[in-house]
């Protein structure tokens, strides 16, 4: 895949990589994914000058794109090797989807907001990704047609892990999700071993609520 980042952003992109390293991100594959992914394509025009800052930024439909160091922590915890089939719940801007495309063999991403998915689809296409499949729907029920998944990454907070996602996680697979209330949660890593699920709490976080059948109610 050709590097889609235009020259005037190379300095800013390099500074972002240095920021991620200063915050403890060591996985070279993860850092390379950030180097290859043009964040400026996933933010609104009024935020272009801040595209490579380590900060969340507003996107369409009243949503936000998470700060890069949060994405990096997620991805480093999953420990992807490039051979995995990954499910992303919450496509959002599509930025994390493209990061995943550089780290996994296949990426399946679900978004519940039509306008957001349409915008993300265009940005993902402009990056030249060929290993990404997108679905408009309820991410809390997963994407059973392509299960099991070696890794599942949930980009919104739930009161508990949606049961369908646990069922669609491959043996030995990892699932990462923010768990807790609507305003404060704990980033949690779930590892499956047969019918057992080992839970590891990582760090306090704040994410938007995961809406859907097995998440928070939309009403």
Q: Which residues are catalytic?
A: 66
**DSSP string for 168-212:** TEEEEEEEEEEEESSS-EEEEEEEEETTEEEEEEEEEE---B-BS
Tell me how many degrees the CA angle 193-194-200 measures, rounded to the nearest 5.
30
Contact 89, 139 (CB under 8 A): yes
Measure the CA dihedral 48/36/4/65, to 10°: -30
Sign of CA dihedral 62, 123, 178, 158: positive
Alpha-carbon span 69 to 49, nearest angstrom: 18
């Amino acid at each position: 895949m050709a590097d889609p980042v235009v020259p005037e952003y190379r300095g800013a992109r390099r500074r972002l990589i240095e920021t991620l390293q200063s915050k403890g991100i060591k996985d070279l594959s993860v850092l390379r994914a950030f180097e290859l992914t043009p964040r400026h394509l996933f933010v609104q025009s009024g935020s272009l000058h801040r595209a490579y800052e380590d900060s969340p930024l507003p996107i369409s439909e009243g949503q936000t794109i998470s700060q890069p160091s949060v994405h990096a922590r997620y991805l480093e915890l999953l420990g992807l090797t490039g051979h995995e089939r990954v499910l992303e719940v919450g496509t959002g801007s599509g930025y994390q989807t493209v990061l995943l495309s550089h780290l996994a063999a296949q990426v399946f991403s679900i978004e519940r907001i039509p306008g957001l998915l349409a915008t993300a689809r265009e940005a993902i296409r402009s990056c030249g990704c060929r290993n990404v499949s997108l679905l408009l729907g309820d991410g809390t029920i997963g994407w059973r047609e392509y299960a099991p998944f070696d890794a599942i990454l949930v980009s919104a907070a739930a009161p508990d892990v949606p049961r369908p996602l646990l069922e669609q996680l491959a043996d030995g697979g990892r699932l990462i999700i923010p768990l807790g209330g609507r305003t404060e949660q704990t980033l949690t890593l779930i590892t499956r071993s047969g019918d057992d699920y080992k839970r590891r709490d990582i760090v306090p976080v704040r994410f938007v609520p995961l809406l859907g059948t097995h998440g928070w109610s939309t009403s």
